[in-house]
Amino acid sequence: MTIISAGKGASKYNIHITGKNLPKSVLNSNLGKKNKILIITDSGVPKKHIKKLKELINSKSVHTLVLDNGERSKSFSSFKKIIDKLFELRFDRSDVLIAFGGGVVGDITGFSASTFLRGIKYIQIPTTLLAQVDSSVGGKTAINVPQGKNLVGAFYNPSLVLISTEFLNTLPESEYKSGLGEVIKYAFIGNKKLKNIIEKNPEKIIKRKSSILQTIIEESIKTKSKIVTKDEKESGIRAILNFGHTFGHAIEAKNNYKNITHGAAITLGMIIASKISFFEGHISKYQLDNIINMISSLDLDINHEKYKYSDLKKFMSTDKKISDGKLNLILINEKFEAFKTAKFNYKNISKALS
């Protein structure tokens, strides 16, 4: 088992990564025998996983709330459902929420924990690759609103993150590929070791070999934890984690959060951002081709041509990286290092989306 730390001071927490069962002793040391526990999950998580988790918990007061599977559950109505359940169970500040599922479950559970009684403890146990390498680490919590994705939320760290690659064995192919989109992002924004691993082992990754999965998850989290610890509230370097997200989030919104996974949208967004990086002169044509080839080697969709600037423009206007009325983009340079900039030719966005 590998342990990686993130956060600072009182909000510091550990991320445990294993290829085996969840560590029972670690879990229960963060729960307490007398506390009430509410497991928040969704209909996409196999019931056998939920049953196994409940068997690991020593507390005699364990409850479960199952949300509908999908991005639409990251909403005000689901938030109200959770809050109403906490009042019904008479939760107090000593009790604990467990987010057991993908990124939607993690985000809305964290947001609920951050607001109920002005903040109660929660634990992240992500069951999808996307949540394991991205949303479970960093303390970003949010819900979606009609105006855009993740526009209502809070920065609120979990007390613990437990990751097991065993959950990935039952993950649908589309969700697994969605997670690979975020994994490959870390290779493009500075993790040279991860980039090398992906280039040499695409088949093993596609086939979900346990040893390689644990390695790419560890490397992804090392990169993310380092960045979010430096910048917990996205006032500086943390913005580079949004490489591809300006366009990816717009693609999700254009699809009304249906028929495309988050990771698939971000993958297309990274190709668009990479093309802009090329048009702006930050990377070479060879490096752009290398990026597209790496994505393709993992059997991920690279067909972004169906999305035009006119389709995405209105959704980009609510992007969280807009500052002083200017859109900031995350681009990459020839060293495969990401950077935020408002200095670019807007015609290159249209060019990349043509």
Catalytic member of 36, 74, 224, 304: 224
Q: Is 245 among the residues known to form the active site?
A: yes
Instruction: Report how far Cα 192 is from the mean position of its chain's Cα atoms.
Output: 20
Catalytic member of 262, 275, 304, 320: 262
Q: Is 169 among the residues known to form the active site?
A: no
Under DSSP, is residue 54 helix (H, G, I), strand (E, B) or coil?
Answer: helix
Q: Is 182 among the residues known to form the active site?
A: yes
Catalytic member of 48, 60, 118, 285: 118
Catalytic member of 182, 219, 232, 252: 182
Q: Is 226 among the residues known to form the active site?
A: no
Q: Is 72 among the residues known to form the active site?
A: no
Helices 285-297 and 192-200: crossing angle in degrees, nearest 10, is: 60
Contacts with 247 (C-beta within 8 Å, 6 or more apart), sequence order? 268, 269, 272, 273, 307, 312, 316, 353
* 61 closest CA partner among 84, 42, 38, 82: 38
Buried b (16+ CB within 10 A) or exposed e, 12-27: ebbbbbbbeebbeeeb
CA dist., res. 94 & res. 88, Å (int): 16
Catalytic member of 35, 63, 201, 234: 234
Catalytic member of 36, 49, 121, 140: 140
Q: Is 304 among the residues known to form the active site?
A: no
Token pair, residue 338, equals 């990401």
Catalytic member of 245, 282, 304, 320: 245
Contacts with 234 (C-beta within 8 Å, 6 or more apart), sequence order? 140, 155
Q: Is 219 among the residues known to form the active site?
A: no
Q: Is 224 among the residues known to form the active site?
A: yes
Q: What angle do CA 352, 338, 201 make, to 5 degrees?
A: 90
The number of beta carbons lying within 10 Å of the beta carbon of residue 76 is 11
Q: Is 93 among the residues known to form the active site?
A: no
Q: Is 85 among the residues known to form the active site?
A: no
Contacts with 288 (C-beta within 8 Å, 6 or more apart), sequence order? 274, 275, 277, 278
Catalytic member of 177, 185, 249, 275: 249
End-to-end Cα spacing for the chain: 46
Distances (CA, A) of 231 to 8, 116, 138, 225: 10, 25, 9, 10
* CB of 296 closer than 8 Å to CB of 289: no
Catalytic member of 242, 275, 320, 348: 242
Residues with a catalytic annotation lie at: 118, 140, 182, 224, 234, 238, 242, 245, 249, 262
